[in-house]
Every structure is written in C-alpha cells, then in structure tokens.
C-alpha cells in the first residue's frame, strides 16, 4: 500500500528476490512524482539504492556533503560530520528517488495509481484481504502479506487493532520555499536566531530550498515574498557578509511539525513501514531514511520467509526497526529543541541554548556524538 519511497523500494527489493508484489496508490502518478519532500539521503540509504540498481541518476546528479555550517549568536562553525563519523550524506530530492523507482518498476511488475475506496480486511489473520476500485472496477486481492507504506493518513494502520501510539505536536511549523536561484553554499546552513530557526538547503545547481520557523497557525497569505526574504536575510545572518541569492519562488508550503510512533509495527501478516508507523520532525532529515531502513529489514525478512518458511526474522521485524526509530525520534526531538525558539520562552532559556550550541561547536566529543546520530550510524 503506497507508491512513495518505502512502497516502491520494497517492491523493487522483493522483485530482485523473485517475490511477486502489487503496489496500490490512491494518488495519481503525477502527484506522487511531484511531491516536494526531503532531499538528504544517508549513506546507508544510498548504498541500498545502489544495491537495488536504481542509483544511476543519483550518482550522476547528487551532491555529496561531508559537513554543514551552524550559525548562532553571530558566529559560524562547520560541523565536519564525515571526518568524525566516517560517513557522508547525499543531497537528492525524494521526488527524484520516486521517479527512479517508478521507472525501474514499469513493465516489470504491477503498479496501480488512482485506486479508490481502499480497504484492508482481516488485518489480524493469515490471509489479509485488500479491496479497492480501479478504473471503475472493484478489485479484491487475498494476500500473503500486506505492507502499509501509505503514510500517516493511510488506511492500513487504522485497520490494525491494538496498536499503541505516541505523539507530540510542536508549537511551531516550517515555511518552505523552492527558489529558482543558485545556492550560496556547497553545504547546508542551519541557523539558530532569536527570531527563530532557518535552514538553507539546495536541490540543484540552479534551485535552492529554504525554510523558516513560523507559527503553526500562520497561512501563506501572511508571508508575501518581501517578508519571506527579509526574514531569511535576518535569520541567516547575511548582514555579517554572507550573500543570499533571491529569485522567483517556484513553490511554497507550511508544514506542521510532530513526532509520532505506532508500535508494534505489525499485526499478523500486516506490516507498517515508513510514515505509516512513525513521523519525525524534519530538522534532522530522518523520515525518508527511516523508511528505507524499515524496508531493508522487511525485505530481508520476507525473503527468508518465502524461501525457507522461517518466520523468525519476520516476527522480529517490529522490535528490530523500533530500536532505530526511537533513536532517530529522540535525536530529532533534541536537535529540534536545540535550534528552535519556543513561544513565550524566557531570555535565560535562549541563552541556555546558546551555551549548548557553543559546547557542541567547541567539543570534539560532543561533535562526534552529534555526527554519529546525524549520519544515521547510531542505533540504540
């Protein structure tokens, strides 16, 4: 269920293992391929995409990052996470990953867009049933396995009884813009400012991606171009001598920030992967990478089961994934708290944050621990 990165990559890995699958997506192909989402891929994610044979464009187009710039209190420090952890990250948009995976599946295995009235029945049984309408015809699939890769609002999790959920909403949101302008730096810039957080990112040599912390009740009408650029100049510290290339804003949107985990990530022969099971705030860019980690574990477990009949790895899927999920959730929450200004925050709390940032920037031990978590090599 779901033709995002998790569902498409799982389908690809199963195909390479000789296991048939059907991917069902309720959105259109055009919508799925144009969704602007995360652009930071951990090294483990890139390695798996290469193993799956879908990294040809990634290797040609992606930029490899070995550090990022951290700005606070009119200071600028580079965090050289590759030197400290031995691992890099790649900048390559989620939409591009999706295009690569769709291209690899076309003409090879079933992929259905625009499915309607999707229902998962008998989710706790041995042969779950998937029902949906496609081109006006009702389809029923009696499945060995159903995997919900259909996101936070998908139908699969709602049909799984007895799940325990944990959720936290943050008192701010991100305003993101996609700009037709060359990036001003080769690496990301994270900025902690008394007016709020901002992030400078990039999508290509000609397109930049920028974010501003805003109130969660704000609307796009409250943020005309002039206000967006003025706030970016202020928070990114461009008055300290850093340039900022302005250009036409191609896309914009406001994203709420929350943490969410559902456990266990399976019931009977129905499994959850990616955003259907867990959501992280975007500060540490863990969402897509956690989904890929889930898929790697699940694909290996399914291959064992279909090949040998042994369910040990399949039954241990949830426990194994959740160790990484909770590590990433905690780090994402910590990094979010470190860089954002909270409503009604006392001045002393903001100075505490500056002290934490100075410790991170000045201690090799602290920077090494941060880097290990940031690149995804730290697992509880």
Q: Which of 17, 2, 12 is nearest to 49 (CA)?
A: 12
CA dihedral sign of residues 29, 34, 36, 39: positive
Residue with tokens 């899927």: 317
Q: Are 9 and 292 in contact (CB under 8 A)?
A: yes
d(CA 79, CA 83): 9
Distance of CA 115 to the CA centre of its chain: 24
User: 269, 127 in Cβ contact below 8 A?
Assistant: yes
CB atoms closer than 10 angstroms to residue 83: 12
How far, in Å, CA of 31 to CA of 326, rounded? Answer: 30
Whole-number CA gyration radius for the chain = 21
Q: CB within 8 A of 234, min separation 6: which ones?
A: 193, 195
Two tokens, residue 70: 């951290």
- Would residue 255 be called left, alpha or beta, if left means φ above 0 and alpha means ψ between -120 and 50 degrees? beta
- Reference 257, options 151, 152, 336, 341; nearest CA is 336
Positions marked catalytic: 65, 190, 282, 286, 374
State whether residue 134 is helix, strand or coil: strand
d(CA 150, CA 361) in angstroms, rounded, equals: 39
Q: Do residues 23 and 11 touch, judged by C-beta distance below 8 A? A: yes
Query: Helix 94-105 vs helix 5-16: angle between axes, to the nearest 10 degrees?
Result: 40
**DSSP strand pairing (164-180 vs 249-263):** antiparallel
């Amino acid at each position: 269920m779901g033709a995002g990165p998790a569902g498409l990559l799982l389908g690809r890995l199963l195909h390479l293992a000789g296991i048939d699958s059907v991917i069902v997506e309720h959105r259109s192909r055009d919508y799925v391929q144009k969704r602007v989402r995360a652009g930071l891929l951990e090294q483990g994610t890139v390695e798996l995409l290469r193993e799956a044979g879908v990294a040809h464009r990634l290797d040609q187009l992606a930029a490899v990052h070995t550090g990022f710039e951290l700005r606070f209190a009119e200071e600028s420090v580079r965090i050289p996470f590759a030197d400290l952890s031995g691992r890099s990250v790649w900048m390559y948009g989620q939409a591009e990953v999706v295009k690569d995976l769709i291209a690899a599946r076309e003409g090879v295995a079933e992929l259905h867009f625009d499915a309607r009235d999707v229902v998962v029945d008998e989710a706790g049984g041995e042969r779950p049933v998937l029902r949906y309408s496609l081109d006006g015809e009702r389809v029923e699939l009696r499945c060995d396995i159903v995997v919900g890769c259909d996101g936070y609002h998908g139908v699969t999790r709602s049909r799984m009884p007895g799940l325990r959920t944990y959720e936290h909403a943050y008192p701010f949101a991100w305003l993101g813009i996609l700009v037709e302008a060359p990036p001003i730096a080769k690496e990301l810039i994270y900025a902690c400012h008394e007016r709020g957080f901002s992030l400078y990112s990039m999508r290509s040599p000609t397109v930049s991606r920028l974010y501003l912390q805003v109130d969660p009740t704000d609307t796009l009408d409250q943020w005309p171009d002039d206000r967006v650029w003025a706030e970016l100049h202020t928070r990114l510290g461009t008055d300290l001598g850093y340039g900022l290339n302005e250009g036409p804003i191609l896309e914009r949107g406001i994203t709420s920030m929350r943490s969410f985990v559902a456990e266990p990530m399976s019931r009977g022969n129905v499994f959850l992967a990616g955003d259907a099971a867990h959501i992280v705030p975007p500060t540490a860019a863990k969402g897509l990478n956690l989904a890929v980690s889930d898929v790697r574990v699940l694909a290996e477990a399914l291959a064992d089961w279909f090949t040998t009949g042994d369910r040990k790895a399949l039954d241990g899927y949830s426990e194994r994934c959740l160790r990484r999920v909770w590590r990433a959730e905690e780090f994402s929450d910590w990094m979010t708290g470190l860089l954002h200004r909270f409503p009604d925050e006392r001045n002393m709390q903001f100075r505490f944050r500056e002290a934490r940032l100075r410790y991170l920037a000045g201690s090799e031990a602290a920077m090494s621990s941060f880097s290990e978590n940031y690149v995804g090599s730290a697992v509880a």
